[in-house]
């Protein structure tokens, strides 16, 4: 039992930590690729040198992030066998394929072409060099696609049969065209764009305010970062909305838990805040807007949404006695935090874009406010983490919804002591690494200046 709880904590810590870096990789690789494309294609002489320096600047931040993403990714892959061997046995016929394909189609691309990109500035032609970073961006996204194919199966199994107590693959195309993949991938992709956009925005604003000589170049990236982030936010909003509508068929228990809707309702209200009592299976009090939940799901103000208690009764009928309700309180508030942060980032994006566009970034009242913007850098990361909490905690008590319980998936030979040791070990090393990486990244941001004489002149008029 102890090994189970600890293994869950270890996996949660590793995934959350890993997913601090993944979205930056997904988004920033595309951002750097776009920047380099601008550098290769631009014919404005005053912009050529500066844009090359910008590519290197954001490229370096990308590399520091990427290194940590890679090393924690290996831990992730090993964890399935180390801590979850019964899961690997039960699911290996299906789950192993996307993982192996991820390595073959994505990891090789990313690692090889990133090496070429970093060390090939003088060895490759500018166009070929630029192509390398595009291939890295492509590889990162292919990687995200495969791992989300695997995750989607856990959330919503398709194309399988149960033979001799194991899940076996019967339809590979169904696995990759699982509607769930579309929702998860598009949402992860746009979260990546959002996160990278926010990183670019925060770093650029800091440079504009604190480093006068680099002001012109970084004013450009403030705009670019804000636009990038806004695209990501709109995409994340749209994909999130469509995915939620799809959840109504694919995983109603998760959906109703997110909304803390205990009893079936038609039309279903949307609770803005609720005092949730999981053990009594009801909300002690709530502030709700009538009909909005139905409207979000069905685009009309009516329509029944099944309540958690009814779904629990159905599940007991189908799978036998047990508690099939996930952590409602955690899901409910995670969802609201995610939405709230999305709205806040959108506001910040529009405001900074407007200020940068009208040249007011360094004017008096705004200047003071913008000083706080870099301190808000954790926002997209919190939004990403609670988003994954919703996805993963929302399928509990299942590891594969309807097929295998998390409690049955853990490696039987592990002792609590062993997992304690590794849990503490991994956590400590993660802490040391992120501190080292942050220090280096901050120092690098601080020390790099991107001056360009003609550009600086243009910046003054």
Partner 1 sequence: MDLTILWFILITVLFTGFFILEGFDYGVGMLLPFLSRRDEDRSQVLMTIAPVWDGNEVWMITAGGALFAAFPHVYATMFSTFYLALFLMLVALILRGAAFELRGRSQHACWRRAWEAAICFGSAVPAFLWGVAVIDLLKGLPINQDMTYAGSFFDLLSIYSIVGGITFLAVFVFHGATFLSIRLQNTGLILRARSLARVWGIIAAAAFVLCLLLTVFSTDILTRPAAVGLLVLAALLFIGAYIRLCGRHYVSSFVLGALTIACTTVGFFAALFPRLMVSSLNPAYSLTITNAASTPYTLSIMTVAALVLVPIVLIYQGWTYYVFRHRITPDDVQEHSY
Q: Which helix (H) or strand (E) holds 225?
A: helix 215-250
The answer to whether 122 contacts partner 1 (rule: CB under 8 A) is: yes
String marking each residue 367-406 x if it binds partner 1 according to CB under 8 A: ----------------------------------------
Handedness of CA 422, 425, 427, 430 (dihedral sign): negative
Q: Which is nearer to partner 1, 71 or 227 (CB)?
A: 71
Site for partner 1 in 402-441 (CB under 8 A): 411-414, 418, 421-422, 425-426, 429, 433, 436-437, 440
Decide if residue 120 touches partner 1 (CB under 8 A): yes
Please name the helix (run of DSSP H) or strand (run of DSSP E) that holds residue 446, with its range, or none.
helix 416-447
Would you state the structure tokens that stand for residue 242, as one six-digit string?
A: 């469509």
* Choices 106-114, 257-265, 317-325, 388-396; region in contact with partner 1 by CB under 8 A: 106-114
229-266 burial, b at 16+ Cβ within 10 Å, e below that, comes to: bbebbbbbbebbeebbbbbbebbbbbbbbbbbbbeebe
Distances (CA, A) of 61 to 117, 153, 199, 456: 14, 34, 10, 24
Nearer to partner 1, 196 or 414 (CB): 414
Report residue 268 CA to chain centroid gap: 29
Of 108-116, 235-243, 347-355, 384-392, the window that binds partner 1 (rule: CB under 8 A) is 108-116
Enumerate residues 56-95 that contact partner 1 by CB under 8 A: 63-64, 66-68, 70-72, 74-75, 77-78, 80-83, 85-86, 88-89, 91-95
Which residues have a Cβ under 8 Å from the Cβ of 21 and sit 6 or more positions away?
A: 65, 66, 68, 69, 72
Least distance (Å) between residue 139 CB and partner 1: 11
Nearest approach, Cβ of residue 197 and partner 1 (Å): 23
The number of angstroms, rounded, from the C-alpha of 205 to the middle of its chain's C-alpha atoms is 23
Shorter beta-carbon distance to partner 1: residue 347 or 421: 421
Q: According to the binding rule CB under 8 A, does residue 96 interact with partner 1? A: yes
Q: How far is the CB of 426 from partner 1 (least distance, A)?
A: 8
DSSP string, 163-222: ETTEEEES-HHHHHS-HHHHHHHHHHHHHHHHHHHHHHHHHHHHHHHH-GGGHHHHHHHH
Q: State the nearest-atom distance from the C-beta of 97 to partner 1, in Å.
A: 5
Contact stretch for partner 1 (CB under 8 A) within 110-118, 214-222, 251-259, 329-337: 110-118
CB closer to partner 1 out of 94 and 229: 94
Per CB under 8 A, the list member of 1, 43, 123, 461 interacting with partner 1 is 123
Where does residue 159 fall: left (phi above 0), alpha (psi -120 to 50 degrees), or beta otherwise? left
Nearest approach in angstroms of CB 114 to partner 1 is 7
Q: Using CA atoms, how far apart are residues 110 and 101, in angstroms rounded to an integer?
A: 14
* CB distance 79 to 11 below 8 Å: yes
148-177 residues near partner 1, rule: CB under 8 A: 163, 168-170, 172
Nearer to partner 1, 176 or 376 (CB): 176
In the bound state with partner 1, the residue whose beta carbon lies nearer, of 85 and 449, is: 85
């Amino acid at each position: 039992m102890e090994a189970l709880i600890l293994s869950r904590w270890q996996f949660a810590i590793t995934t959350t930590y890993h997913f601090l870096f993944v979205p930056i990789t997904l988004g920033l690789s595309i951002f750097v690729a776009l920047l380099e494309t601008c550098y290769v294609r631009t014919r404005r002489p005053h912009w050529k040198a500066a844009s090359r320096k910008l590519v290197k600047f954001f490229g370096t931040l990308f590399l520091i992030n990427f290194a940590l993403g890679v090393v924690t990714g290996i831990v992730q892959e090993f964890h399935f066998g180390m801590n979850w061997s019964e899961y690997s046995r039960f699911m290996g016929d299906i789950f192993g394929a996307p993982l192996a394909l991820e390595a073959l189609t994505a990891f090789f691309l990313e690692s090889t072409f990133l090496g070429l990109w970093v060390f090939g500035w003088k060895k490759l032609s500018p166009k070929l060099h630029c192509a390398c970073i595009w291939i890295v961006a492509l590889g990162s996204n292919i990687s995200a696609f495969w791992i989300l194919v695997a995750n989607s199966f856990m959330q919503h199994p398709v194309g399988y049969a149960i033979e001799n107590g194991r899940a076996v693959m019967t339809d590979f195309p169904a696995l990759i065209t699982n509607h769930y993949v579309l929702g998860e991938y598009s949402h992860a992709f746009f979260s990546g764009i959002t996160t990278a956009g926010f990183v670019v925005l925060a770093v650029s604003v800091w440079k504009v305010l604190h480093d006068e000589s680099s002001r012109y170049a970084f004013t450009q990236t403030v705009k670019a970062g804000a636009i990038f982030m806004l695209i990501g936010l709109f995409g994340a909003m749209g994909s999130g909305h469509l995915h939620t509508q799809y959840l109504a068929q694919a995983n109603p228990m998760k959906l109703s838990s997110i909304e803390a809707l205990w009893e079936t309702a038609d039309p279903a209200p949307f609770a803005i805040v609720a005092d949730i009592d999981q053990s009594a299976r009801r909300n002690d009090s709530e502030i709700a807007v009538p009909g909005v939940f139905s409207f979000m799901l069905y685009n009309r103000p009516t329509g029944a949404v099944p309540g958690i208690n009814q779904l629990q009764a159905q599940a007991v009928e189908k799978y036998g006695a047990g508690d099939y309700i996930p952590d409602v309180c955690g899901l409910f508030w995670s969802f609201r935090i995610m939405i709230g942060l999305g709205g806040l980032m959108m506001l910040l994006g529009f405001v900074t874009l407007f200020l940068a566009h009208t040249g007011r970034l360094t004017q008096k009242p705004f200047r003071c406010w913008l000083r706080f913007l870099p301190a808000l850098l954790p926002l997209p990361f919190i939004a990403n983490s609670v988003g994954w909490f919703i996805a993963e905690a929302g399928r509990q008590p299942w590891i594969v919804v309807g097929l295998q319980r998390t409690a049955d998936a853990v490696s039987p030979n592990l002792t609590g002591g062993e997992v304690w040791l590794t849990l503490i070990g991994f956590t400590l090393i993660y802490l040391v690494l992120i501190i080292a990486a942050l220090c280096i990244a901050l120092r690098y941001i601080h020390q790099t200046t991107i001056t360009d004489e003609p550009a600086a002149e243009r910046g003054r008029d």
